Amino acid sequence: MRSTTRRLRATAAAAFVAGLGAAALTALPATANAAADSLSVQYRTSASGATADQSEPWFKVTNTGTTGVSLQSVKLRYYFKADSANAAYRFACSWAVKGCANITGTFGTLANPTATADRYLEIGFTSGAGSLAPGADTGDMQLRFYQSTWAPLNQSDDYSFGASQTSYANWSKVTAQSAGTTLWGQAPAGNDPTNPPTDPPTDPPTGGASLFDDFDYTGHTDPRISANGWSVRSNSGGPGVSGATWAPENVTFSTTGGNSIMNLETSTAGTGASTEQTEILTKATKFKNGTYAARVKFSDAPKSGPDGDHLVQTFFTINDLKAPLADDYAEYDFEYLPNGGWGEPANILYTTSWETYQADPWVAVNQHSESRQSYTGWHDLVLTIDNSSIKYYVDGLLFGTHDAAYLPERPMSINFNQWLIDFGGLTSSTPRSYDQQVDYVLHVKDQVLTPAQVASKVAAYRSAGTTFQDDVPAA
């Protein structure tokens, strides 16, 4: 069963648009509240055509003030006109001096739509992006966004788009805020970014037992991994190709752009015996209703060797199946198949809510949503479970809503793994390996957070220097 949720575009009032006139098309840099705090934004487009398969706004942010600015407090907004009432958009970072892992992108709807804007892309930064000293800039941020269906974009009616901006220059049709104060640019008329009444709240509710892990470890043998409640899998068994092993040494950790990153490597030479898969999971099954979130980097291409294996890259929650078709089983999955599989010919992202299953003969009782497109790169994944529904978000947008019939009866563990369904018809015995990366994981017990609230909560942990917290009580 497929569930598709569409966002409705706000309707512009004809009188408002008519009264907009040239004033809304004239953008001037905002005056800072204090001379010490000042920013400028340079923009260029790498996709200058009026019609393109994706919009590519690239930015540099410069601190033109006299004091340092923490990038974590900075938000940019790029304003555009949705191409249809039901259009959904995806954000991606191609490359950035500050590191793509330190740049976030979410979409919002304007309170007062104009002839050239009813949506915006908001760019934010994690604590790993650091600060800008007076006179310093962020360097290149090569960003892009596109329709979830990959339908062509009409950029000619987008407020912030400049077809002639093929090299960096100051661009005041993009706004920049620091700590809630607009320091650069002018939004489309009536849409001051300091007061967006239709935006979802960004301040998370107070309280709530939480698990947060920034995956700041030295390696798979780091004793803190076990002490913090994780198990790096080494025992045999499914899922995966017959004869594959689970290799804990292939779960590694590194620092990229100031952020600690966990890497799961899966490798094969085309046989079960040569296949090494990876998984990390919580030892406790104590997580049930609330919010689950992770920032995950999916990969379409192998790190080395030929491509083509049917690979699964995941973030999910699960408990044990006590008997075939047992009704107290629960599992909630984000599963990305970069090369297809399970009958799919190409890349596809599934979100699936399980009530139960039977292995032999195979019977599946679940509800799923899917999107047949590439999701290579970093993505913010959010799952919420309350007493009425299960909701999945990707990069701030609702991806699927599943019914109350699939709600969990028992608590679950939290898992990440990367494994092979099969070799996808690839007959090569040349070794190849694939990477899946994870920036952080968050669970907030019994609270349903918006994606914006998730980002705010993660930013607060990082601002406080907290790399791990778990005060979720045992089940």
Measured in whole angstroms, how far is the alpha carbon of residue 412 from the centre of its chain? 22
Measured in whole angstroms, how far is the alpha carbon of residue 297 from the centre of its chain? 8
The whole-number pLDDT of residue 395 equals 85
Buried b (16+ CB within 10 A) or exposed e, 30-64: bebeeeebbbbbbbbbebeeeebebbbbbbbbbbb
Tally the C-alpha atoms within 13 A of residue 224's C-alpha that lie toward its C-beta: 12
Cα torsion angle, 287, 465, 37, 145, sign? negative
Asked whether the predicted pLDDT for residue 308 surpasses 80, the reply is yes
Do 163 and 47 contact (CB within 8 A), yes or no?
no
> How sure is the predictor about 284, in pLDDT bands with cuts at 50, 70 and 90?
very high
Asked whether the predicted pLDDT for residue 5 surpasses 50, the reply is no
Nearest to 27 by CA among 141, 179, 176, 142: 176
Asked whether the predicted pLDDT for residue 350 surpasses 80, the reply is yes
Asked whether the predicted pLDDT for residue 302 surpasses 50, the reply is yes
Average the pLDDT over 253-280 and give the result. Answer: 94
> How sure is the predictor about 456, in pLDDT bands with cuts at 50, 70 and 90?
confident
- In this structure, how many other beta carbons lie within 10 angstroms of the beta carbon of residue 200? 14
The whole-number pLDDT of residue 8 equals 22
Angle formed at CA 257 by CA 128 and CA 201, multiple of 5 degrees: 35
Beta bridge partners of 313: 336, 418
Average the pLDDT over 238-258 and give the result. Answer: 94
Do 380 and 395 contact (CB within 8 A), yes or no?
yes
Asked whether the predicted pLDDT for residue 1 surpasses 70, the reply is no
Q: pLDDT higher for 463 or 435?
A: 435
Q: pLDDT tens for residues 421-442?
A: 999 999 999 999 999 999 999 9
Q: pLDDT higher for 14 or 87?
A: 87
What is the model's pTM? 0.63
Q: To the nearest whole percent, how much of the chain has pLDDT over 90? A: 73
* Greatest mean pLDDT among 3-17, 192-206, 431-445: 431-445
The whole-number pLDDT of residue 12 equals 24
The residues, ordered by sequence, that sit 6+ positions from 264 with a Cβ below 8 Å of its Cβ are: 250, 251, 278, 279, 280, 416, 417, 418, 435, 436, 437, 438
> How sure is the predictor about 472, in pLDDT bands with cuts at 50, 70 and 90?
very high
- Name the residue with tokens 């892009």: 144
